[in-house]
């Protein structure tokens, strides 16, 4: 039987061999954390390689994602469908073993990591989701949701500010199901970190309200004892500080940044083999090592035991069991189509003149009873974002609910939401001022990259924000979000468009949605129900030119749609026939077939865009020969209406712009 150290050395060998073959990668972290990983995965992890999506599995996150060969080695060795041939193609085109762990590429990868600090933040989201789901579904004698989230992280993760946002909140929430391991090796890419990172990490996490232990990261018995102790602490998250040697086993490059982000070199690889007593060729694992790692039988047994528990639960609580299965499968309620259609129809009938943020709140209030998986929230702006409603119970510290006040943590909020979405069973949305989507950009991008369903509610969307001034007025943000691949951005113009945008976001299973909403009031508009399908296509003819023959097409979004309608009327008086197109989602419109796009934006007809944001974005629709009414400077501090006039969002300026292109 292989010893613990020999089992851990399999990780070291695979990691240095794969990095060497690719001549690219980070061997140091996996070699340094191999002993920790061996103890965790062989003695504590509850998982099943034969069913990587088992609902009650423990979740493992490699926050220091550059050390990706660690998780690839673990998945391969323990029996997941990740063959050695995939490890041989590490960092090559279309390999399951990408340079950083990519969600959806290899089974067992719970989240995409690479941007440091986001993995631990995702982990907080996973752990929060487990706690929320346990609160909603567990009953006395029936703990069907009962698992841990384990996170590996390095010095870099702790340097990133988002780790502070998330770990502080994790302590407040008392996430006893979260256990993090800090790879304390004193090395980053630039070298020994003493010149730029001297935090007292133990005191820092104790101040957050975490349970903290310190161990030798190469002492298997000490690691095992620490994990067992951490699992006993159910009212606090746990941090295990693991003193390690980066590149452990490399005689000349361990304890140095030389092994952090580069292959060891052929000569050093051979020396490391001798140092470790690893007598096998590259990518060769002996049978006794495979036998020591194989988790398939143990995983099958653990899942079978859980299935028995779930069957007993289903007998006593059949409706809850069915609901749990639906939500973990990511399916919408059976009556969703009918119920959501009624919400849209009811709000369309009312056609209230309200700010689109208020219209959004009306939609949330109507959808909440239909969608028990909703978990709402805001980064300390609930009263401004209007993201809550009377049916929600607010999370307060360790007391669970379905609405979260995240505090002033925009980046943390959206990265936590990503973890919740990945866990399954919840549909997270979060609100902030649109301007502060800048803080959250990386987390929003990661949601799009992973193709997961989260919803960003971004209010106060333009210079209409008003008196708070240019620091709070998003000029470029809407365009920036539209440029993120796989991000759907909606900037609706009335309550009906808001309701359709929300239902589209809920129904979208392959990516995130950003809802860009106004502070200022927008005139109500009742639509013909036949228009609902057209609105869903991202753009539609709101008001046709007289006789159906347009001299110019006005394309507008959000609060500026009403301005375009008024300009259409003024142009008519000057003998110019204008068509008004409302384009609530450019992304969705771009996915339509060419025939539909041509029916909305008739080829050969001059176009003018009207949106309170940067104008360059609109050149893809209006061309160089078209016109734009927008803003390419920062705003000012004044009432929103004053600013709109000051920056040219007037009927007179729209008319002037139209005439300049005809």
CA distance 568 to 543: 9
Q: How far apart are CA 51 and CA 328, in angstroms?
A: 14
| The token pair that represents 10 in the structure block | 């399999």
CA separation for the pair 618, 479 (Å, rounded): 9
492 Cβ contact partners less than 8 Å away, ≥ 6 residues apart: 356, 359, 498, 500, 501, 515, 517, 558, 584
Q: Are 515 and 360 in contact (CB under 8 A)?
A: yes
**Angle, vertex CA 648, rays to CA 643 and CA 651, nearest 5:** 115
**For residue 191, what are its two tokens?**
């070298």
Asked if residues 518 and 357 have their Cβ atoms less than 8 Å apart, the reply is yes
Active site residue 410: yes
* Segment holding 617, helix H or strand E: none
Give the contacts of 498 (CB within 8 A, at least 6 positions apart).
Answer: 347, 356, 359, 360, 362, 363, 492, 515, 517
For 75, the token pair is 């998945």
Q: Which residues pair with 489 in a beta bridge?
A: 514
Q: Which two tokens stand for residue 82?
A: 């990740």
Looking at 425-513, list the stretches that DSSP marks H as alpha helix, in order from N- to C-terminal side: 437-450, 477-482, 495-507
Using the structure block, give the residue that is written with the tokens 């259609």. Answer: 341
Which 3 state secondary structure label does DSSP give 4?
Answer: helix
Burial call 180-208: b when 16+ CB within 10 Å, e when fewer: bbbbbbebbeeeebeeeeeeebeebbeeb
Handedness of CA 603, 608, 612, 614 (dihedral sign): positive
**What are 472's two structure tokens?**
């709070």
Output the six-digit token pair for 226: 């620490």
Active-site pick, 410, 497, 560, 611: 410
DSSP code for 200: -
Name the phi and psi angles at 127, rounded to 5: -65, -40
Q: Which two tokens stand for residue 341?
A: 């259609």
Of 570, 573, 551, 577, whose CA–CA distance to 651 is shortest? 570
Rounded Cα distance, 544 and 207, in Å: 62
3-class SS string, 279-323: CCCCCCCCHHHHHHHCCHHHHHHHHHHHHHHHHHHHHHCHHHHHH
Residues 6+ apart with CB under 8 A from 166: 117, 120, 121, 123, 124, 409, 412, 415, 416
Under 8 Å between Cβ of 152 and 70: yes
Burial of 320 (0-12, 13-18, 19+ CB in 10 A): middle
3-state SS assignment for residue 458: strand
d(CA 637, CA 445): 30
Does residue 83 sit in helix, strand or coil?
coil
Gap between the Cα atoms of 129 and 119, Å rounded: 15
| Residues noted as catalytic | 410
């Amino acid at each position: 039987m292989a010893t613990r150290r020999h089992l851990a050395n399999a990780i070291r060998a695979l990691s240095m061999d794969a990095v060497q073959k690719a001549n690219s990668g980070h061997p140091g972290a996996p070699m340094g954390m191999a002993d920790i990983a061996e103890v965790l995965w062989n003695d504590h992890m509850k998982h099943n390689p034969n069913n990587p999506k088992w609902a009650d599995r423990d979740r493992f996150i490699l926050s220091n994602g550059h050390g990706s060969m660690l998780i690839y080695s673990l998945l391969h060795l323990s029996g997941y469908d990740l063959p050695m041939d995939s490890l041989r193609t590490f960092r090559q085109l279309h390999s399951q073993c990408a340079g950083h762990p990519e969600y959806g590429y290899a089974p067992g990868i719970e989240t995409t990591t690479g941007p440091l600090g986001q993995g631990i933040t995702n982990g907080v989201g996973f752990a929060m989701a487990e706690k929320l789901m346990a609160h909603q579904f567990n009953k006395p004698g029936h703990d069907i949701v009962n698992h841990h989230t384990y996170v590996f992280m390095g010095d870099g993760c702790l340097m990133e500010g988002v780790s502070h946002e998330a770990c502080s909140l994790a302590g407040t929430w008392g996430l006893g199901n979260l256990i993090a391991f800090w790879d304390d090796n004193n090395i980053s890419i630039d070298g020994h970190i003493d010149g730029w990172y001297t935090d007292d990490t133990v005191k820092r996490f104790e101040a957050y309200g975490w349970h903290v232990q310190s161990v030798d990261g190469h002492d298997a018995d000490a690691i095992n004892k620490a994990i067992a102790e951490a699992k006993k602490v159910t009212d606090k998250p746990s941090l295990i500080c693991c003193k390690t040697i980066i590149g452990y086993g490399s005689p000349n490059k361990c304890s140095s940044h030389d092994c952090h982000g580069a292959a060891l070199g052929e000569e050093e690889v051979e020396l490391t083999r001798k140092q470790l007593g690893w007598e096998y060729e590259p990518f060769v694992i002996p049978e006794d090592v495979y036998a020591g790692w194989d988790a398939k039988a143990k995983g099958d047994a653990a899942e079978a035991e859980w299935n028995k528990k779930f069957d007993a639960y289903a007998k006593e609580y059949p409706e809850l069991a069915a609901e749990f299965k639906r939500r973990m499968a990511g399916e919408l309620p059976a009556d969703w189509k009918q119920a959501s259609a009624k919400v849209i129809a009811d709000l369309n009938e009312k056609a209230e003149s309200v700010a689109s943020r208020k219209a959004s709140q009306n939609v949330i209030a109507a959808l909440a009873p239909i969608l028990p998986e909703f978990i709402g929230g805001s980064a300390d702006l609930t009263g401004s974002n209007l993201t809550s409603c009377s049916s929600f119970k607010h999370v307060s510290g360790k007391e669970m609910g379905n609405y979260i006040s995240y505090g002033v943590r925009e980046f943390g909020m959206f990265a936590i939401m990503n973890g919740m979405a990945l866990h399954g069973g919840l549909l997270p949305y979060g609100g902030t001022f649109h301007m502060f989507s800048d803080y959250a950009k990386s987390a929003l991008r990661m949601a799009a990259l992973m193709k997961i369903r989260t919803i960003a509610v971004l209010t106060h969307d333009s210079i209409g924000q008003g008196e708070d001034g240019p620091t709070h007025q998003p000029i470029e943000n809407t365009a920036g979000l539209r440029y993120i691949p796989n991000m759907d951005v909606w900037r609706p113009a009335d309550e009906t468009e808001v309701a359709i945008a929300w239902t589209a976001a809920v129904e979208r299973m392959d990516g995130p949605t950003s809802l860009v909403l106004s502070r200022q009031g927008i005139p109500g508009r009742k639509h013909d129900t036949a228009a609902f399908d057209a609105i869903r296509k991202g753009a539609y003819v709101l008001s046709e030119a007289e006789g159906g023959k347009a001299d110019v097409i006005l394309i507008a979004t959000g609060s500026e749609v009403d301005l375009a309608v008024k300009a259409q009327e003024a142009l008519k008086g000057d003998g110019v026939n204008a068509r008004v197109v409302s384009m609530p989602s450019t992304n969705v419109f771009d996915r339509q077939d060419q025939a539909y796009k041509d029916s909305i934006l008739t080829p050969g007809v001059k176009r003018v865009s009207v949106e309170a944001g940067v104008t360059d974005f609109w050149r893809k629709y209006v061309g160089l020969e078209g016109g734009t009414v927008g803003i390419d400077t920062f705003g000012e501090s004044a009432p929103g209406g004053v600013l709109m006039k000051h920056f040219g969002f007037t009927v007179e300026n729209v008319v002037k712009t139209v005439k300049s292109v005809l």
